Structure 1
C-alpha cells in the first residue's frame, strides 16, 4: 500500500517513521528542497524531529504530482490554513479511490468551516477521514504508545484507516461524531495557550486544573451548539487532547503562552516558537463564533482580550475570578 504525506512537519514525519516499519511504501512532499534533500541524503528532517533517523524506505520530493501518484492514502500534514490551497493543487490529479486523511487541526478563518468541510468542497470525489487525538510527534517517533480517533461521514473509511494503520505504537479508535472530534481537536490549542500564560505568570497546579476543567465547559457549549455530541468531549479528542496539549513540554501552544505570560509580545512569542501556533487563530475564530451564536465562553473571551486587545493579564484574572456565582455543571 502506498502512503503519501503532504507536509513534512513533526507529526507527519513521526507517523511516516512509524509506518515505515510495516508493509507500506511512503513518500513525503515538501516545498523546501533543503528539507527534501535532508530526508533523502542525510536521513534527517532538518527542521523537525532533528534527532530522529528517517528510514531509507521513506522518499521525499518537492513534486506534489510525484508524491500523490498511485497513492492509496494521502495524509494532509500541513498547517490548517494551507489545507484548502493544497487541496486545490491536487484536486484534478488524484485518483478518486485515494483516501484523504486529515492530520491538521483547525477551523478556516474566513468561512469558519471545519477542515473536513473544506476537503469535501475541494475533493468531492474522495473519501475524507479525520485522524485526531492526544498525540505529540516527539513521543510517537520514539515509539511511545499513543491512542488516536478516526472519524468520517462515511464510517467504513474511518474503520478502514483504523484497521489499516493500527499497530503496536498506535491504537486507533473510531467515533462517528466528526463535528465533535474536529471541534475538540481545534479548541484544545486555545486552552493550551491560556495554560501557558498563567504558568508564565507564576501560577501553579491549582490554577491550571481550574482552567482546564472549566475550559471543558466552553468546549462542550461550543461543540454541542455546532452539532457535536456531548460524550465526544469526554473522550480522546476532548479531555484527552486537553491534557496532552495543556500540560506537555512538547506543546507549541503552551510554549507560546508561557512566553506571553512572562511578558513577551505576541509577535515576538510566535517568532520565538518558529512554528505555526494554531491556537492563536483558533482563539479569534471561536470568539467570533461565540458572538454569532450568543454562547458564553469566558476563558476564550478572556484570552481573546489578551491576544488581540492587549488587555492586561492581571485585569483578566480579576474579571474571571469575580464572575457571577453559579452551579458547576451545565444544563445542555
Structure 2
C-alpha cells in the first residue's frame, strides 16, 4: 500500500516495537511522548534504553514532544498509552485533530471506575466526524521479540471490516501478520483479562508450584475470562483464537511478561508497592483485577482465580492462603457458567 503517516502515541516497549514494524513497511512514523529526555534519546541516539538496551532504531523514526506537531497531516493514530491515561490523551487528540483519521489502539486494560473498554473510551472522546470505527490491535506478542523481528501473529478487530483490513495492510509483513476479527468486545476483554491470569500464573511459579499448576491456572483462567466476556456480549469463539488463548499462553508463561513477573514476586512474598516501584512499567493486571472482580460481582459471573488474586492484592490476604481457598471451593462441573 502507499506510504502512510502514522502517529504512535506512547513510546513504551510495545509502542516502540510497533513503530519499528510500521517503519519497516515504509510508513512515516511519528512517536509522541511526554517525557522530554526519552524523546530526545530517540531522536539523537535512536535508542530507547529504558525498554531495549541493545536495540538501535531506524533513524527515520522521529519522536515528538508536541502532540499538535505529531498529529499534523497524519493518516492514522495508534494509541499505545496506559489504560489510566487513555481518556486524557484521547481528549487532547480530539481538541487538536482537524481531519478524519483511522484510530487504532494496542493497549490492554479496562478503565477503573467506569469499567469501560478502551475502544469505548476512544469512541466517547473523539467525535465520529474525526475518526474511523476504532480498530483494536491485540494478540500474543512480546515487544522484546517483535523488536528483533521474531515471527508474530495478532488480530485487528473492528466493527468496520474495511478499517480492520486497512490496519492489516499497514502492519503486515514477512515477520508480523494480522488477522481481522469483527468481535471487538471479545478481543478487548481477552487482552485485558489475560493479564490477571498471568499474575496468577506468576504467583504459582513464585510459590514453587510446577507445570501441573501452570496448566490448571491457564486453562481455568481461560474459562473464567470467557464467562465474563460472553456476559458482556463477546463471541465465545474469540477466546480460542490469537487474542484469547494465544495471548494468555504468551503472557502467562513468560518472564518477558511484566504481569507474570509481578505475580512471581508476589508469590515469593514481595510487597506490591515494592514490585510496582521496581518494575518501572505499568502492570495493567493489577488495576484490571479490581475492575474484573467488580464486573463479576455485578454480573454474577463465577471467577475464582480473579477473586483469589483480588483478595491478595486488595484485601491483604496471603497469596498462598488465597490459592488454597480457591482449591477448596465447592465441587463444580468443568463447563459450569454461573455462580
Work out whether the TM-score is over 0.5: yes
User: How far apart, in 2, do the equivalents of 1:21 and 1:280 lie?
Assistant: 34
1:63 and 2:66 equivalent? yes
User: How far apart, in 2, do the equivalents of 1:2 and 1:272 lie?
Assistant: 36
Q: Deviations over 1:150-201 (max 9, x none)?
A: 1112221011111222111211001100000000000000000011111101
Shift in Å, 1:95: 4.0
Aligned-pair Cα RMSD in Å: 1.2
Q: Spell out the pairing of 1:81-160 with structure 2 (5 A cutoff).
A: 81-125=84-128, 126-127=131-132, 128-160=134-166
- Tell me which stretches of 4 or more aligned residues in structure 1 moved more than 4 Å: none
1:175 and 2:178 equivalent? no
Shift in Å, 1:329: 2.0
Shift in Å, 1:304: 0.4
TM-score by length of 1: 0.97
1:250 and 2:256 equivalent? yes
SS in 1 for 2:24: coil
Point out where structure 1 has 5 or more consecutive residues left out of the alignment.
none
Q: Is the alpha carbon distance of 1:327 and 1:277 closer, same or farther for their aligned partners in structure 2, counting shifts above 3 Å?
A: same
1:197 and 2:200 equivalent? no
SS in 1 for 2:149: coil
User: How far apart, in 1, do the equivalents of 2:223 and 2:137 lie?
Assistant: 24
1:13 and 2:16 equivalent? yes
Assess if the C-alpha contact under 8 Å between 2:266 and 2:319 holds in 1: no
Point out where structure 2 has 5 or more consecutive residues left out of the alignment.
none
Assess if the C-alpha contact under 8 Å between 1:10 and 1:137 holds in 2: yes
Assess if the C-alpha contact under 8 Å between 2:302 and 2:337 holds in 1: no
Which residue of 283, 302, 306 maps to 1:296?
Answer: 302
Q: Spell out the pairing of 1:282-293 with structure 2 (5 A cutoff).
A: 282-293=288-299
Q: Is the alpha carbon distance of 1:233 and 1:93 closer, same or farther for their aligned partners in structure 2, counting shifts above 3 Å?
A: same
